Amino acid sequence: MNYIIANNYHLRFAMRCVQLSVLWFVTMVAVGFYSDSAKAESIEVDVVYPERAVDAGLTLTGSVSAVHNAQLASQQSGVVANIHVEAGDVVTRDQLLLSLDDTLAQLQFEQASAELNIAEVALQEAKRLYQELKVLSKRQLVAQSLLAERQANISKAGAELKNANAKLALQQELLTRHHIKAPFAGVVTDRMVDVGEWIGTQDKVFSLISNDKLRIELAAPQQYFAEFSQANTIQANILNQHNKNAVINSQVERVIASVNKTNRTFKVFVTVPENSGLVMGSSAQVTIQLPATDNAQVWLPKSALKRHPDGGYSIFAVNNNTAERVFVEVTQQQAERVAVKGASVSQQYIKAGVELLQSGEKVSVKSVAGNAL
């Protein structure tokens, strides 16, 4: 009986060994097959070494605008009596530009002036009567109640005088509002009314700009906001329209800390020096010298870029036959190549066919280019 049990035990042990051997063999075959399949499915790619870019600054195109740019309107309704300037005239601050018919306002002013004179005389008379009665009261010839009445008359005359002064000031202001003066020195660019027309307080009559204070308004991409906001002084070079080989040296005047939700840009104002030759409304190209950063720019082919749904970009580096995604920032574009930040100049990058490529995929290098194109 013991012999039969022993034989069964050895038989089961032998069968178990056979099963393990078969399992090991199947596993190794599967691993080899998977390895061969993975090797066979690796993607052949062309790679390129990027070319280091010389940081020439951020070049933007904007419009020349005036620091002061006003659409002038009248503060009073009326008929235009006289126009003292024409479009194109250079005016100084507080120079008279237009006059309305002020006949009624002038009469009301004279009436208020006469009422002021009457109030002044009334106050003087009230004071005189009070002084006379005060002398008599010392002799006890008049009642104290009458003296108090004369004192009240002085207060009443004083109040009427203040009222008359206020009425005169009001009529003076209304008379002044019949005349439009220049709020600042500049150039009249447009005249919208003519003599004899009736204008209201909402009607625009002149366009006035300050020709001696110009600036260029630029729209900078949102990714540069940190560099603009951290620097105290940022130099800018304005392309001279009269001499293409010369530039006008200037600097960034102001950065607006608000990003446009539509085009994801923020406003930058660049000061325009006097006698620059630039005129209001014209376009201007400006190269802004941003502060130096650790991220060097390199050139790569446009085909190496993969665009993301959010508007960003990435490229793929090749390390150990594996594609690795690298997020970059596009700074310039020239024909078939782009300058980017965030890429190493000593790294190989896949040159084309990256639209469907994913990070971590196996690749095999087919050819290597020494520059960006």
- Which pLDDT tens digit goes with each residue over 334-348? 888 998 888 887 889
- How many whole angstroms separate alpha carbon 279 and alpha carbon 276? 9
Min mean pLDDT across 45-59, 221-235, 260-274 is at: 45-59
pLDDT in tens, 142-192: 777 888 888 899 999 999 999 999 999 999 999 999 999 999 999 999 999
Residue 97 has pLDDT above 60, yes or no: yes
Whose structure tokens read 């050139």? 299
pLDDT of 169 reads 96
**Tokens encoding 54:** 């010389």
What pLDDT is recorded for position 179? Answer: 96
* pLDDT at residue 34 is higher than 50: no
pLDDT band at 6 (very low <50, low <70, confident <90, very high): very low
The pLDDT, as a whole number, for residue 140 is 73
Q: What is the pLDDT of residue 295?
A: 56
What's the whole-number average pLDDT of the chain? 84
| Percent of the chain whose predicted confidence (pLDDT) is above 90 | 47
- Percent of the chain whose pLDDT exceeds 70: 84
Task: Measure the CA–CA gap between 145 and 143, rounded to whole angstroms.
Answer: 5
Q: Looking at residue 2, what is its pLDDT?
A: 44
Lowest-confidence region among 13-22, 238-247, 347-356: 13-22
Average pLDDT over residues 279-299: 78
Residue 40 CA from chain centroid, whole number: 54
- Mean pLDDT is lowest, of 91-95, 142-146, 301-305, for 142-146
Residue 43 bridge partners (DSSP): 363
pLDDT the model gives residue 335: 83
Q: What pLDDT is recorded for position 204?
A: 95
Would the pLDDT of 32 be above 70?
Answer: no
Per-residue pLDDT averaged across 280-304, rounded? 80
Is the pLDDT at 54 greater than 80, yes or no?
no
